[in-house]
Amino acid sequence: MLQNIKRPTLLLDRAKCLSNIRLMAEKAKKHNLIFRPHFKTHQSAAIGEWFRNEGVEAITVSSVQMAQYFALHGWQDITISFPVNIREISEINQLVAQIHLNLLVESPEVVHFLKHNLTSSAGIFIKIDTGLHRSGIDPADLIMIEKIIEAIQQSDKMIFRGFLTHAGHTYGSKNKNDILIIHRQSLDQMAGLKNAFSEFQPLISIGDTPSCSIADDFSGADEIRPGNFAFYDMMQAEAGSCTPGQIAVALICPVVASYPKRSEHVIYGGAIHLSKDSIRYSNGLASFGRIAIFNGNHWQILPEGNEVISVSQEHGIVKLQQEFYDSFIPGGLMAVIPIHSCLTAHLIKQYLTLDGEFISMMLSNNN
């Protein structure tokens, strides 16, 4: 069956994925942390059950629509880890009537809006910016944080839960030590807040896969929300969060043309399958995906230097070291290990397990 793949297909190694989930669940237990995995990576009710089997009851999502999808599939405790989009208040109100929903705020204005518009209770986390500078409040801005907590307290519909951060600047790290430094700096800032606002008994929720994979000191944190670790990818392997052998997904692509003079093949597999995310190796070479040999049963990752070097809409250009060039011919299949598995999964919208089972995802959250 796998030998008959016709078009770019996202293969999922169930055993690897289950092992990644189990390892993280055990780590959370060992450190007395609430394990609230981020489901934006897989976006699949079926894969969600694999987490449930490891005792997971609370999850994280990145949009109201994703919360609706997982609520429909029986998840009763969901944090939407994205600043409240007040334009979706009617959908939010439908959710708070059904499940335990946690929302993210970072301004008194949005809290005031919720005070006047929420129709059932919601938990509220304040988003803290510990260095990524994407969203969140500066942890040194205690006046603003106090103002927001006060506003939350004025509403009987909002229950202050604590402080949440995503130290996503670990993704750019090139080694484990850099990740651990960012992780510690982030936790120290959060610990300062926990101390400053101890009367409210705030939970401290942290998130990123690199920190959660590598760190062995979570003192100060109450909850972890990693997501990518279920699959991992080349970006994580490069940062040292995982070994290449732990990566649980590979995009299988038909080879459609070959160029021996430049040791390149063209595959049916481009930006609409892999995304345009890339990494740059220490030698300066950019990669849009690492090449692996696919024997019809599993994939075997080739060494650095065997890469998708560019992508357009449907095309991927693959450059191989000479010794591997002849492993592929037009009409054959090639495996590509994604740079960023979350985006690749989102684009493909379906998994095929190594044992031949199709697993569906939520449909587009764009309409």
Tell me the residue type at 152. I
3-state secondary structure 82-144: EECCHHHHHHHHHHHCCCEEEEEECCHHHHHHHHHHCCCCEEEEEEECCCCCCCCECCCCHHH
Out of 20, 60, 65, 79, the only residue in the binding site for a second copy (CB under 8 A) is 65
Cα 32–33–39 angle (5° rounding)? 150
The least CB distance from residue 366 to a second copy, in Å, is: 5
How far is residue 124's CA from residue 19's CA, in Å, rounded to a whole number?
A: 32
Give backbone dihedrals phi and psi of 133, rounded to 5 degrees, phi first.
60, 40
* Closest CB 29 distance from a second copy, rounded Å: 28
Asked if residue 226 binds a second copy (CB under 8 A), the reply is: no
- The CB density around residue 237, as the number of other CB atoms within 10 Å, is 20
Shortest approach of a second copy to residue 99 CB, angstroms?
20
Q: How many residues at the interface with a second copy, by CB under 8 A?
A: 58
Determine, following the binding rule CB under 8 A, whether residue 241 of this chain makes contact with a second copy.
no
Rounded to a whole number of angstroms, the minimum distance from the CB of residue 53 to a second copy is: 26
Tell how strand 122-128 and strand 158-165 pair up. parallel
309 near a second copy, judged by CB under 8 A = no
Q: Among 314, 321, 354, 359, indicate the residue that binds a second copy (CB under 8 A).
A: 314
Q: Are the beta carbons of 292 and 336 closer than 8 angstroms? A: yes
Q: Is 6 in the site for a second copy (CB under 8 A)?
A: yes
Instruction: Write phi, then psi, for 128 (nearest 5 degrees).
Output: -115, 135
Rule CB under 8 A: choose which of 49, 57, 74, 86 binds a second copy: 86
Site string for a second copy, 25-64 (x = CB under 8 A): ---------------x---------------------xx-
| Residue 93 interacting with a second copy (CB under 8 A) | no
Please give the span between the terminal C-alpha atoms of the chain, in angstroms, as a whole number: 33
Q: Is 200 in the site for a second copy (CB under 8 A)?
A: no
Say whether residue 109 binds a second copy (CB under 8 A).
yes
In whole angstroms, what is the distance from residue 129 CA to residue 299 CA? 39
Q: State the residues that interact with a second copy by CB under 8 A.
A: 5-8, 40, 62-63, 65, 82-88, 91, 106-107, 109-110, 113, 133-135, 168, 254, 256-258, 262, 266, 268, 271-273, 275-277, 310, 312-315, 317, 329-331, 342-343, 346-350, 364-367
